[in-house]
Amino acid sequence: MAVPITERGAQALKTELHELKTVKRPAVVDAISEARAHGDLKENAEYHAAREQQSFIEGRIQELESTLADCQVIDPTSLPKDGRVVFGVTVDLLNIDTDEEKQYQIVGDYESDIKLNRISISSPIARALIGKEIDDVATVQAPGGAIEYEITGIHYLG
């Protein structure tokens, strides 16, 4: 099954993959070669650290390549603007109990970052919002109890 990701999220993964392949992978290969030149590999901490770093880099490259192969890129600006909450949109919310306002973009699992107000499509809050319209109330089951949000805006931003 294709995993949804925004255009921005896919580009960030491609940038990281390019950096790993063109900068970090060659640097760790050089570090291994240099450590090898120091002699006895059994007690060579630099060699073992470089090999561990190489293993991490190769694993991350495989993970990124697999993710990019399995994802479906969705551009929120090209979605039908029918006033419903769907993947990729940015939603303005009002907490009914506290009058606190929040804004979240609903993104794929690989690009979610609460510090940047990007929540995963699989998160409880996103699941409660999907399909709703402006002025609808979404009830989110949180660890501290149910929270009700009124949807005050929907934006189809990139």
Question: Domain coordinates of the chain in residue numbers?
Answer: 3-73, 76-155
Q: What is the mean pLDDT of residues 107-118?
A: 93
Is domain 76-155 annotated with CATH 3.20.20.140? no
The whole-number pLDDT of residue 58 equals 97
The whole-number pLDDT of residue 137 equals 96
Which positions ≥6 away from 38 have C-beta within 8 Å? 44, 46, 47
pLDDT bracket for residue 80 (50, 70, 90): confident
Report whether 151 contacts 133 (CB < 8 A): yes
Residue 151's alpha-carbon distances to 54, 83, 136, 143, in angstroms, are 47, 11, 6, 21
> 10 Å Cβ neighbour count for 69?
8
The whole-number pLDDT of residue 144 equals 87
Q: What is the mean pLDDT of residues 134-149?
A: 93
User: Which amino acid type is present at position 121?
Assistant: I
Per residue in 7-51, pLDDT (tens digit) is: 999 999 999 999 999 999 999 999 888 888 877 767 778 888 899
The whole-number pLDDT of residue 38 equals 77
Residue whose pair of structure tokens reads 């940038």 in the numeric block: 15
CATH number of 3-73: 1.10.287.180
Q: Which two tokens stand for residue 76?
A: 């929120």
Q: Which two tokens stand for residue 37?
A: 């030149």
Per DSSP, 3 falls in state E
Degrees to nearest 5, angle at CA 22 with 54 and 36: 40
Per DSSP, 79 falls in state S
Q: What is the mean pLDDT of residues 44-62?
A: 92
Q: What share of the chain has pLDDT > 70, as a percent?
A: 97
pLDDT bracket for residue 1 (50, 70, 90): low
The whole-number pLDDT of residue 56 equals 97
